């Protein structure tokens, strides 16, 4: 495995970093009402689109860098700038976008993908329902054929970008097989629930969806797919996003705590002079860098050995998302009063970190699957 990036790749990461730091400027990207969040996301997408960031993993045409490893490094750059913008952008472009790539309607697909990768469209993926049904129960969102159309009914509990999306990929069943229904925000029968207030990611717009016989033409059905395999693929894409989100949190937490420890004085000296503070920083850096290696290895395997990449991604997800909580917790301890104030980077990371352990494949389910794989049962 080769961790070296080319000069072209490094230049691209710098371009993403500089543009997004400049965009973040004095904006608070980690909170806001729906219209503010919508504006922030539109602004971020319109900067990321022209530089080719939104094409990564989606369109081979005109990609700024290629391969999952370079894609992960580029994503890590964005996740280091803002947790909320990162999650919103990735769920719109990478998660929704990768589902779109499977659509077999060539011309429509091309047009929609172009809008998405140019940054002119917000997408959302509605998969989970009332519980971790994807693992425990069959999907209850179902399409029923009605002449040339399909009437889709069901409910989705949490959808990132739900309140601001232009298009939704709603995962459900048709003729007993799993598909994604492509549904526009204006479709009759589609209702958005109120915005869901959450513990972290307060700069992300989240709501539920209710679908009451939403009529979808057959041409807007992506699939069908072999159920288990496709749901695993969707979860793997989501897990990759959550892994990188965790890296960004660790990066911000570590850097904030390190800079504070060097500049903040207590008892007549910078707090870095206290050995226990130094130990904490060293544990944080070790965890962060180990998580980074794990994440990059999983990304590299996605190209090199896709069959084995599923379990490796689960291992990386458990490690990285749990490490993010630990690193943010240690950063808060070093930052003490300064960190405990609402809005500090470590405080935000601490609240966001839990989401990574719950969403995608949860830490509990991931551990069961990793154990099954170790026993040769997968
Ligand atoms: C802020 C937020 C945003 C979200 N955004 C989206 C989105 O954009 N799109 C989308 O589709 N979904 C989204 N989700 C849904 C998210 O993926 C689910 O919350 C997640 O799958 C957990 O489901 P649940 O909350 O119903 O937990 P439950 O299924 O009720 O699980 C509760 C507990 O039981 C454990 N458990 C459940 N089943 C098993 C099992 N088989 N083996 C071992 N342990 C088990 C779980 O690990 C957990 O600890 C979002 C959720 C949140 C909180």
Going from the Cα of 204 to the center of ligand 1, the distance in angstroms, rounded, reads 17
The pLDDT, as a whole number, for residue 168 is: 98
**Atom in ligand 1 nearest the alpha carbon of residue 126:** 11
Ligand 1 pocket residue status of 135, Cβ below 6 Å: yes
Question: CATH 1.10.540 in the chain, residues?
Answer: 7-118
Which pLDDT band, with edges at 50, 70 and 90, does 105 fall under?
A: confident
- State yes or no: pLDDT of 62 exceeds 70: no
Q: How far is the CA of 135 from the centre of ligand 1 (A)?
A: 10
DSSP per position, 223-241:
EEE-HHHHHHHHHHHHHHH
What pLDDT, on the 0 to 100 scale, is given for residue 219?
Answer: 94
Q: Which CATH number fits domain 7-118: 1.10.1740, 1.10.10, 1.10.540, 1.20.120?
A: 1.10.540
pLDDT at residue 101 in the model: 93
Mean pLDDT of 216-230: 91
β-strand pairing of 269-270 with 265-266 = antiparallel
Q: How far is the CA of 236 from the centre of ligand 1 (A)?
A: 14
* Total Cβ atoms within 10 A of residue 45: 23
Report the nearest atom of ligand 1 relative to the CA of 160.
8
The answer to whether the CB of 364 is under 6 A from ligand 1 is yes
Summarised one tens digit per residue, pLDDT across range 17-34 is 999 999 999 899 999 999
The residue whose CA is least distant from atom 19 of ligand 1 is 359
pLDDT over 90, % of the chain: 84
Closest to 330 in 3D by CA, of 249, 262, 232 = 249
Q: Which atom of ligand 1 is nearest to the CA of 124?
A: 8
Q: Contact, 173 vs 225, CB < 8 A?
A: no
Residue 200 CA: nearest ligand 1 atom is: 1
Residue of minimum CA distance from atom 43 in ligand 1? 365
Residue with tokens 């307060």: 202
Cβ burial 339-373 (10 Å sphere, 16+ → b, else e)? beeeebbbbbbbbbbbbbbebbbbbebbeebbeeb
Output the residue whose Cα is nearest ligand 1's atom 4.
Answer: 158
Q: Whose CA is nearest to atom 39 of ligand 1?
A: 365
- pLDDT tens digit sequence for 275-315: 999 999 999 999 999 999 999 999 999 888 888 899 999 99
User: Each residue of 143-182: pLDDT tens digit?
Assistant: 999 998 999 999 999 999 999 999 999 999 999 999 999 9
Q: Answer whether residue 135 shows pLDDT above 80.
A: no
> CATH class for domain 227-374?
mainly alpha
Question: Looking at domain 123-225, which of 1.10.10.10, 3.40.50.2300, 2.60.40.10, 2.40.110.10 is its CATH number?
Answer: 2.40.110.10
Confidence category of residue 134, pLDDT binned at 50, 70, 90? low
What number does the ligand 1 atom closest to the CA of 135 have? 41
Q: How far apart are the CA of 78 and the centre of ligand 1, in A?
A: 25
Which residue spans of the chain are classified as CATH 1.20.140.10? Answer: 227-374
Angle at 216 between CA 214 and CA 217, to 5 degrees: 155
Beta bridge partners of 221: 181
The atom of ligand 1 lying closest to the CA of 363 is 47
Our mutation pick for probing the ligand 1 site, out of 87, 137, 359, counting the most ligand atoms within 8 A of Cβ, is: 359
* Closest Cα to atom 11 of ligand 1: 127
Q: Give CATH 2.40.110.10 domain extents, the chain.
A: 123-225
Take atom 20 of ligand 1 and give the residue whose Cα is closest: 359
**Is ligand 1 within 6 A of the CB of residue 234?**
no
131 lines ligand 1 (CB under 6 A): yes
Ligand 1 atom nearest residue 362's Cα: 47
């Amino acid at each position: 495995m080769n961790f070296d990036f080319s000069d072209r790749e490094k230049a691209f990461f710098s371009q993403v970093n500089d543009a997004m730091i400049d965009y973040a400027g004095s904006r608070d990207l980690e909170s806001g009402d729906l219209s503010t969040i919508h504006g922030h996301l539109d602004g971020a997408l319109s900067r990321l689109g022209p530089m080719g960031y939104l094409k990564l993993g989606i369109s081979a045409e005109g990609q700024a860098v290629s391969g999952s490893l370079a894609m992960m490094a580029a994503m890590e750059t964005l996740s280091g700038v803002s947790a909320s913008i990162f999650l919103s952008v990735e769920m719109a472009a990478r998660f929704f976008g990768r589902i779109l790539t499977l659509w077999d309607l060539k011309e429509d697909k091309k047009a929609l993908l172009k809008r998405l990768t140019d940054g002119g469209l917000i997408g959302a993926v509605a998969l989970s329902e009332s519980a971790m049904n994807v693992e425990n129960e069959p999907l209850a969102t179902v399409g029923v054929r009605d002449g040339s159309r399909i009437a889709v009914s069901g409910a989705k509990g949490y959808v990132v970008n739900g309140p601001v999306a232009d298009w939704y990929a709603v995962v459900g069943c048709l003729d007993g097989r799993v598909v994604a229904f492509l549904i526009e925000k204006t479709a009759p029968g589609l209702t958005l629930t109120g915005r869901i207030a959450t513990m972290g990611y307060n700069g992300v717009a989240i709501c539920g969806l209710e679908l009451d016989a939403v009529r979808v033409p057959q041409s807007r059905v992506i699939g069908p797919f072999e159920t288990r395999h496709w749901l695993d693929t969707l979860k793997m894409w989501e897990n990759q996003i959550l892994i990188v989100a965790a890296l960004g949190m660790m990066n911000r937490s570590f850097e904030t705590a390190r800079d504070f420890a060097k500049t903040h004085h207590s008892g007549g000296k910078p707090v870095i002079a206290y050995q226990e503070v130094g130990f904490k920083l060293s544990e944080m850096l070790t965890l962060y860098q180990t998580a980074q290696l794990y994440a990059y290895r999983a990304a590299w395997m996605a190209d090199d050995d896709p069959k084995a990449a599923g379990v490796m991604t689960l291992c990386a997800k458990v490690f990285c998302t749990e490490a993010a909580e630990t690193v943010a917790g240690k950063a808060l301890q070093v930052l003490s009063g300064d960190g405990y104030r609402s809005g500090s980077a470590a405080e935000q990371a601490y609240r966001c970190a839990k989401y990574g352990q719950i969403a995608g494949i949860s830490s509990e389910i991931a551990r069961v699957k990793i154990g099954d794989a170790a026993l040769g049962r997968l």
